Chain A
Amino acid sequence: MMNTRRDFIKHSSVGAAGIVTFPKLELTRKKPLLSESLDIEDPRLKQLVKTAIDAAVADGASYADASLTHIYGFECRSGSLMPLLSEDMSFGVRALYDGYWGFAASPTWTSDEAARLGKAALRQARINSFDKPRQMELAPITNMSSGHWTMPIKDDPFKISLDEILDFIGGLSSFIQLLPETAGNRIITTFRRNEKCFASSLGQNVTQTLYFTEGEVRESVVLKNRGLGQVLLETLTPAGMGFEYFRDQDLRKQVLVAREEVLEDGRLPIEPLDVGRYDTLMHEFVVADLISKTTGLASQTDRVMGFEANADGTSYINEPKEMLGAFKVGSPLLNISADRSEHGSVNRVKWDDEGVNPIKFDIFRDGILQNLQSNREGAGWFKDYLDSSSTGYQSYGCATTPSSLDVPMIYNADLTLKPSDKATSIESMREAMGNGIEMRRGGFTMDFQQITGFGTGQFFRVKNGRKTAVLNAGALLFRTPEIWNNLIDVGAAQSVRRFGMSERKGEPAQIAYHSVYTPPALFKEVTVIDPTKKA
């Protein structure tokens, strides 16, 4: 019987006794084994993580957890239809001693290495103690569970022939190439499967299979007397989906609609933008970036408490215990909830990277700060507040590690801006705005406390409810509470769209992803400046 990757653990004949290695990709096959996965539920893996935890606990750890991640991925591009395949297997162990964390990680999945990592993690933690414990508390895990969960997807890209994916890209590229006024296109598809095994000294053991899919479809079109215009589909940002993300969307139709919009905009006159204050209609993608940076990053407990002060920064929530439940950041239309269970979300999990089942919670309700995004330690810092809150004292499940080589940190959960109950659409909002500006594409750079923002993108003049001109320069300048207090309308549920966004954090920096669900939004009197004007 031919071995499969499910028979993966063996005792190597070439190594020292007890070395466990993966045969992984088989030489007898002439095709890459994309269709096969190692079995993350194999009991021998549970033994491996247990070995690491036992080693840390035996040396004095008050708590330890260990995780394995196996990330397999490939990327295909039009014009270079050869995939880039990559595989990463990591093993990370965290240990707690006297309130200090130690972490050790390597790519080696062997029992000897498991014991080494357990001891090394404990050693890292212990060296900080100097017989003076650090005051910290890990929030309890309520309803702790073990088991396996696979992110539900329709078409597993690792079970589809790679030729089929290459054909799909090639077909779409050829379709665009034959369109009039085209000046080239670029299509990229990225698929990753992340298999995780997590266990802790609390006796919990969970395994998960997660998927990450991202795409880019970009076309350059020739605009009459105006050079090249860029057509870019916004419907392929990172998502927790399979190949259906490409196949089930009518991408050809989307390209036609998007390029028609670009060509139509290309026929509008170009006008200068006078600085001033304008009612501003923001498209969904722009609002998503605003939500992610001004409400998401700012509400992470480690940033709030100064743990990221030397890296990306802190937060405007600088007196969190006084501000929780009282600080008004925006108008009553600002309702931001966090969740990690929505189908298609890039951050969807059953357990976070501390074994916690994430819960749905409000960050802002009626414009007022309600909760902070937390992991177990972060929840411990706000025990008193959480004890008296409706959720109780627990972690909200925001611990994320991109791979086991990285440390679990608090990253944005999937965020949602509550849509309007009214039947508002971007067209009706434009009409209701009457005169103002419209911002499509682009994004924001925030200062290191997420207070002051600077937004650039594609701007249009709106007169009497109609787009009348492309504005040739312009940028938004705002303070976070100011812009959210000026939120006067949001789109209806039908206009909500999902976008996957990345977040960089830590020292050394590591990157994780989250989704934002948002309708378009209308803000009154936003300050618009000419960004090219110096003092």
Chain B
Amino acid sequence: MNTQTIIGTLDSERIFNEKTARSIVNLILEEYKPVRGFYIYVSSWWGAGQRWARNTPSLTSDRRQVVVQIVDTRMRPSSNARTNQLDPTSVKATADIVKYYATKHDWNKPLDRVVDPIVWSPEGSIVWSDDTYRMALEETAKVVKGLVKSSENEKLMSAGFIEATGAAALKFERDPWGKESYKWGSTTQARCAATVRHPKGTGSGWAGKTSFDINRLDFKAVADIAFEKCMNSIDPVRIEPGRYQSILEADAVATLARLLVSSLIRLNPERGADVPTILGADPSLQRFRSKLGLKLLDPRITIYHDPKDPLMGTHVSDSVDKVTLIDKGVLVNLYTPLEYHLNELVDLNVPISRSSFAISGGSTTTEEMISSTERGLLVTRLSQPQGVHGPSLLFTGVTRDGVWLIEKGKISKAVRNLRWTESPMFAFNNLEQLGIQEPVFAPVESRSPLERGFHNSLTNILVPTMKINDFSYTSTIDAI
């Protein structure tokens, strides 16, 4: 075996297949024959993308990466090492390092059980698209050329990117009792986002979408929305900050929802977090768990994770089955790290990390929301959220890429961006109308090269547009 046969020279061999992954694992197993209590994770990632700015392509790229990680869990703490070289010498030497440090355990600490940060997608989940995997940049180049046309004609400036990624991973595990298991998964993701700006910086519009299937992305619609938002937001006027009935488009809702969902984790409040959180101990009841079963949000809101929904799943997922966190406004589940599962022996059928999630939708269209608004704002995106009060989950940030004033059921004018100061708890309790659930643009968090394509780097969010009463804006800002 050599590296070149693993990541092929052909576009059809952008990531490795299960057979190849198993052969890498077998190489390591030769070194790890007698050992019980370890796992091996091998993954492969490919990403191709096209960026454009000032109405012309600025960079087209094709990148590939592989990762081999070996974790020896016989003793606590676990010994582990990783490499991106797949030649036999490198792989075996990595195993050698792990074995060496596994002997340097601390005898005073208890045996570590297998700590598995990953639960794999169940059989039958479909998060793979051949068309995404075969995306040819020659085709996207033509698409981009078309996308920037309207901006060029109107002397606006378009910037954006289209990206397709594919990832596959195999996990081999031999538990402390010698039981072996192989888990294999693969996934694709396509993303497109565009920003159109006035060259003098007096207007800006944005749109973006994500899907595992590139055919479900309407590139032209993304570009058209960004263009129209820019055209309609030129020379915005200042309005008084205050409380406005606000129609938050799905991407703005996703920002707010992410702040809430990421706080629903069991570990920190019990172990003593650095900052107080929404789940902090209730002084009257002494235990944070008492919040389970309490009504937190509007009863129309249900938040769940469903690995069998391809628009939400990835090859490595949060849970085996669909898990509901907030059911009709009531908190019914908390994210629970596996270490907590093991130490506290709690039910394992709850999600272990925070990534993909969905909020149930309604049936009201954005147009219907606008027409039923006497005076309010239409908001494209909420940006740069910063926590200011943990227990009430209060955040502040700024609006971005298009805000409009609605008067008497119609959009009357573009307004300047505003600083918002609000809690998702408050907002999701002041729900006026609920739109149709839709997937939103999912930015991938920055990672070091070795972590790219490693573990669950894809987060997919499905949320509806929401009309919220009394959304709080505390100042105007100059940025457009």
Contacts and interface: CB of A to CB of B under 8 A. Distances in A.
Chain A partners chain B: yes
Contacts, number: 293
Interface stretch (A234-242, A335-343, A410-418, A443-451): A443-451
Interface in B45-74: 47, 49-51, 53-54, 56-66
Contact of B9 (A105, A112, A445, A454): A112
Interface string B377-391: 000000110101100
A509 B444 contact: yes
Contacts of B446: 504, 508-511
Given A25-B97, A101-B58, A125-B60, A14 B79 contact: no
A2 to B, nearest CB: 14
Contact of B88 (A14, A30, A110, A507): A14
Interface string A395-422: 0000000110111000000000000000
Interface stretch (A252-260, A323-331, A385-393, A527-535): A527-535
A105 B61 contact: yes
Contact of B197 (A25, A306, A456, A531): A306
Contacts of A406: 449
A12 interface: yes
Given A479-B478, A509-B444, A19 B89 contact: no
A21 B145 contact: no
B431 to A, nearest CB: 17
The winner among B77, B80, B89, B452 for most chain A CB atoms within 10 A is B89
B157 interface: yes
Interface residues of B, number: 102
Contact of B478 (A27, A120, A451): A451
Assign chain A's interface to a size class. Answer: 35 or more
B445 interface: yes
A456 B159 contact: no
A102 interface: yes
Nearest to A405: B449
Contacts of A89: 84-85
B93 interface: yes
A451 B416 CA distance: 14
A482 to B, nearest CB: 10
Contacts of A101: 58-60
A235 to B, nearest CB: 20
Interface string B73-107: 00011111111110111101110110011001110
Contacts of A128: 50, 56-57, 60, 141, 144
Contact of B141 (A127, A454, A510): A127
Contacts of A319: 200
A80 interface: yes
Interface in B130-174: 137-138, 141, 144-145, 157, 159-161, 163
Interface stretch (B119-127, B393-401, B407-415): B393-401
Nearest to B104: A82
A451 B477 contact: yes
A532 B480 contact: no
Given A83-B101, A86-B81, A307 B90 contact: no
B421 A84 contact: no
A305 B53 CA distance: 9
Given A22-B85, A24-B93, A87-B82, A80 B77 contact: yes
Nearest to B105: A82
Contact of B63 (A81, A105, A509): A105
Interface stretch (B345-353, B357-365, B468-476): B468-476
Given A107-B64, A134-B56, A509-B444, A535 B474 contact: yes
Contacts of A531: 388-389, 396, 421
A100 interface: yes
A33 B94 CA distance: 10
A319 B388 CA distance: 34
A102 B60 CA distance: 5
A106 interface: yes
B450 interface: yes
Contact of A24 (B76, B85, B388, B389): B85
A452 B419 contact: yes
B448 interface: yes
A475 interface: yes
B325 interface: no
Contacts of A402: 448-449
Contacts of B79: 82
A85 B63 contact: no
Contacts of A405: 63, 65, 449, 452
Contacts of A305: 53-54
A116 interface: yes
A319 B199 CA distance: 9
A12 B160 contact: no
A449 B4 contact: no
A31 B392 CA distance: 51
Contacts of B272: 228
B479 A448 contact: yes
Contacts of B397: 445
A516 B82 CA distance: 32
Contacts of B400: 447-448
Contacts of A529: 474
A232 to B, nearest CB: 10
Interface of B: 1-5, 7, 9, 47, 49-51, 53-54, 56-66, 76-85, 87-90, 92-94, 96-97, 100-101, 104-106, 137-138, 141, 144-145, 157, 159-161, 163, 193-195, 197, 200-201, 204, 206, 241-243, 272, 274, 383-384, 386, 388-389, 392, 394, 396-398, 400, 417, 419, 421-422, 443-446, 448-450, 452, 472-475, 477-480
- Please give me the 8 A-B residue pairs with the lowest Cβ-Cβ distance, nearest first: A25-B93, A15-B2, A80-B77, A509-B446, A124-B60, A449-B479, A531-B388, A534-B472
Interface of A: 12, 14-16, 19, 21-27, 29-33, 71, 80-90, 100-108, 110, 112-113, 116, 120, 124-125, 127-128, 130, 134, 228, 230, 305-310, 313-314, 316, 318-319, 402-403, 405-407, 445-449, 451-452, 454, 456, 475, 477, 479, 504, 507-511, 529, 531-535
14 contacts: A21-B85, A22-B85, A81-B106, A87-B81, A103-B60, A108-B7, A134-B56, A306-B54, A310-B193, A318-B200, A448-B398, A449-B480, A454-B396, A508-B163
